[in-house]
Structure 1
Amino acid sequence: MPMETDARHAVVVGAGMAGLAAARVLADSFEAVTVIERDTLSRASAPRGGAPQGHHVHGLLALGAEVFEGYFPGLRAELEQAGAPVWDWGEKLCAVLPKGTPPPTPMGMPIQTFSRPLLEHVLRQRVTALGSVTLRDGLTVTGLRTASPGKVTGVRVKDGDGEDEIAADLVVDASGRSSHLPQWLTALGLPSPRTTTVDAQVGYASRTFSYPEGQAPPAWMGLLQPLRAPDFHKGCYAIQIENNALHVTLHGAKGAQLPHGDDDFLAYAKTLRGPIAETIASLTPTSSVRRYARTVNRKIAYHRLARWPDGLIALGDAVCTFNPAYGQGMTVAALEARLLEQMLGNRRARTPLDGQEFQKRLARVTASSWLMATTPDRAWEDARPAWPVKAGNWFMNRLIDTVPHDPRLYTAFSGLFHMTAGPLTLANPRLLSSVLIGPRPASTR
């Protein structure tokens, strides 16, 4: 039920993960929520043009899964019924790291793997089932509707029949990497926000496979072989997903020539350590090879603008995007929705949401994920990294090199990776000394 406020109508631009999560939260505080999506959406689970990364491996971290389950009770069970497997991260992940592969280590950390289109489809059905939410697809937002430069009162939209305006008490830009918000703010006479980018020049090539009749899937549920500057230019991610399929993404940095078709996909896989080439050699491809290269980390400093219009907020990839290799995007979107819920709940009755304060707090939500993604990615850049970046990469590399030889450290690092634990986890003297001493075979520890 909507809260007793004068908040009547909210418009969310974008029906991706961040937009759907925001719409779910807004439905508790507004009488009506309209989600506007540029793509024409399928009624089934299928990739859409506005999310080309949907063809590639996606991961929902443990914390993100927990937050989404809170907003959509029974989500995990619904996805499992659709074929998405649930497995323990420590037991069923094959992590091919530079200094070895950690042995199976039960962690009690349940992970669910699925395609991005399946998750988006299920969430879209859940959101549109809410009585106060309307989804309008095939509609492009062309600008902001304003009463003055300091007050946003809705959006201007365009479809095949012409242009129109939609009034709103709050506009949420969740339109992703293609957001035009900086230009819209400039058109209102507001200063252009500063944009920071970090580009490791990572590219992806992905496809899905099915298992021949009678062939059992591999013992692992997920396979991870990360990139690392300057020596490890190639890697992969592979997960078992719905429809008994294996989803494989090969990736490379700094000029690695990614495959285009059947033969060079397997040839690329054969250049990697670990079992990926042997696994896919006998499988049947069920999709063409899809490539993707928009992996730059980008942060727009809306939180530093001295002026911010009332009735407007921005979140998700419209504000801060990460190299997808680190799997943080969907989880950060869930955390941003949680921030929105907190701020809507804490405001005084009959007062609008403070958009400027929201952007400031959102910057704090994304800060640690930005650091986790950009510190290793800066090592790929041509410019000599600053000493804090070098020190951070040295420590992280030492940590990852030690993980295969220390089950307790592997468990602690997994909690850090999945955002269920903070960096202070590694302040434990035993774990910290293990990292500083470095990797040692079990027989010599």
Structure 2
Amino acid sequence: MDTDVRRAVVIGAGVAGLAAARVLADSFEAVTVIERDTLPSAFAPRAGAPQGHHVHGLLALGAEVFEGYFPGLRAELEQAGAPVWDWGERLCAVLPKGTPPPTPMGMPIQTFSRPLLEHVLRQRVTALEPVTLRDGLTVTGLRTAAPGKVTGVRVKDGDAEDEIAADLVVDASGRSSHLTQWLAALGLPSPRTTTVDAQIGYASRTYTYPEGAAQPSWMGVLQPLRAPDFRKGCYAIQIENNALHVTLHGAGGTQLPHTDDDFLAYATTLRSPVADTIASLTPTSAVRRYARTVNRKIAYHRLSRWPDGLIALGDAVCTFNPAYGQGMTVAALEVRLLEQMLGNRRGRTPLDGRVFQKRLARVTASSWLMATTPDRAWGKSGSAWPVQAGNWFMNRLIDTVPHDPQLYTAFSSVFHMIAGPQALAAPRLLSRVLIGPRPGASRSAIMS
């Protein structure tokens, strides 16, 4: 066996890192996953993922990709209590111009907490023979044989320092990645970083239903934000353990709740049915706030030099405002790219990291545009005309959706990434968007 491709190291045991380890286990003799946090034995939020306290969504395409890598994952999550439901039938989407009526789409969605998903993925990945997970260990830098070749990582465990050799290092350490500094230490130029910050904040908590209590007809509630007028919103989903997970959104300087009373009071200002539901439920968590919602893209793909033996993926490269629910699905697509490139190598030649970063940039491009176009509208300085045109079209589309089931289905397919944006360019759908909501069309009733 070629000794150049025997060992891999993955930095980060989040969703992206675990999925990467799963794919690497098919091509490497040994895969070491390094996690800074001390991981819980059961599923629980971890310090390194504060967003784990907030509502997460796995889009339909992401669920398909993960099921391919972890056969039976959906059934295992369902056995743990994570419900499966049809997006069109059971989502209560409270949009500016109305709420679409229940519309069967044959689009199964599964809802769960992020800690449950990470726990199940950790169990699956660590059961793989090549994989070793080392938690409570901090990566402090890259191990190199020369400026152009990475040969592992330097780590720190308490006061003790060590090195772990690897033929491929994968940075999946998320928003807290130190890769730009590590590359600078190797003499590489700083990559361009682009940020789009809508300054959106979240406040979340979970509730449980009393024994035998009637539950609402919906499984999820979505009331999106929209600049400049709709500054409050929410996303609520039913998850494992008969629980309701509620995240309240605020933009444009909106003050988010801190206390129990504030949380309910904020919910009552929304048009969604969330307040009526949680008023009679028992809270099972404190109110948790979160404000790291900036979209950030690091242009590693534009560096003229890239060291051998290194790649980066997930939030370490491109992060999205979590309100759009794209992060885990995009990570799945990036890992699928990794699998494809590993499979397309000649023999067991090393992975070309520079080519991987270029192709990864294409994987993230459409999701970046979908997230940043509406977020740029919150800027005080105004947006360029392409952004204004994109937002006009998107707003027109969303305003028409409540009154057009076919358009609602097409839009949902694009939102869940099982169809590309071109699906909305079909002439019969495009004309409906351009015409807009029919004059006098009644506002759809909100699901109770």
Alignment of 1:167-182 (within 5 A): 167-182=165-180
1:427 offset after TM fit, Å?
1.5
Task: Give me the whole-angstrom Cα distance separating, in 2, the residues matched to 1:112 and 1:434.
Answer: 31
8 A Cα contact 1:155 1:167, kept in partner:
yes
Q: CA RMSD in A?
A: 1.2
Aligned equivalent of 2:137 = 139
Equivalent-residue separation in structure 2 for 1:249 and 1:366 (angstroms): 25
Q: Which residues in structure 2 correspond to 1:40-55 (within 5 Å)?
A: 40-55=38-53
| Partner deviation per Cα, 1:184-227 (whole Å, 9 max, x = no partner) | 00011000010000000000000000112331111100000000
Task: Answer whether contact 2:4 2:167 (CA < 8 A) is retained.
Answer: no
1:33 maps to 2:26: no
Sequence identity (%) = 88
Q: Alignment partner of 2:43: what SS?
A: coil
Counterpart Cα distance in 1 of 2:351 and 2:413: 33
1:257 match: secondary structure: coil
| Residue in structure 2 matched with residue 21 of structure 1 by the alignment | 19
Note the 1:163-242 alignment, pairs <5 A: 163-242=161-240
TM-score (norm 2): 0.97
Q: What secondary structure does 1:243 align onto?
A: coil
* Cα shift at 1:347: 1.1
Quote the residue 2:356 is aligned against.
358
Aligned-partner Cα distance in 2 for 1:217–1:245: 11
Q: Distance in 2 between matches of 1:365 and 1:89?
A: 25
The equivalent position to 1:339 in structure 2, one of 326, 337, 340, is 337
Report the AA paired with residue 279 of structure 2.
Answer: A
Distance in 1 between the 2:441 and 2:356 partners? 52
2:290 aligns to what? 292
Partner of 1:370: 368
On the 8 A contact 1:222/1:237 being kept in 2, the answer is yes
Deviations 1:40-70 (A, max 9, x none): 0011000000000000000000000000000
| CA–CA separation in structure 2 for the residues paired with 1:115 and 1:389 | 33
CA deviation map 1:263-285 (0-9, x unaligned): 00000001101211111111110
Aligned letter for 1:193? P
What is the TM-score with the length of structure 1 in the denominator? 0.98
Taking the TM superposition and a 5 Å limit, the aligned residue runs for 1:39-118 are: 39-118=37-116
- CA distance 1:189–1:215, shift in 2 (3 Å): same
Aligned to 2:310: 312
In the alignment, structure 2 segments of 5+ residues that lack a partner are 443-448
Could you tell me whether the CA contact under 8 Å between 1:261 and 1:289 is conserved in 2? Answer: yes
Deviation for aligned residue 1:4: 8.0
Q: What secondary structure sits across from 2:5 in the alignment?
A: coil
Q: Secondary structure at the match of 2:393?
A: helix
Supply the distance in 2 between the matched residues of 1:243 and 1:442 (Cα, whole angstroms).
43
Q: For the structure 1 residues 282 and 441, does the alpha-carbon distance in structure 2 shift closer, same or farther, using more than 3 Å as the test? A: farther
3-state secondary structure, aligned to 1:157: strand
User: How far, CA to CA, are the matches of 1:30 and 1:7 in structure 2?
Assistant: 6
Counterparts of 1:150 and 1:28 in 2: how far apart (Å)?
26
Question: Which residue of 2 is the match for residue 160 of structure 1?
Answer: 158
Describe the SS at the equivalent of 1:107. coil
Structure 2 counterpart of 1:149: 147
Query: Structure 1, residues 354-409: CA drift from partner, whole Å, max 9, x if none?
Result: 00000000000000000000000000011210000000000000000000000000
Distance change (3 Å), C-alpha of 1:33 and 1:371: same
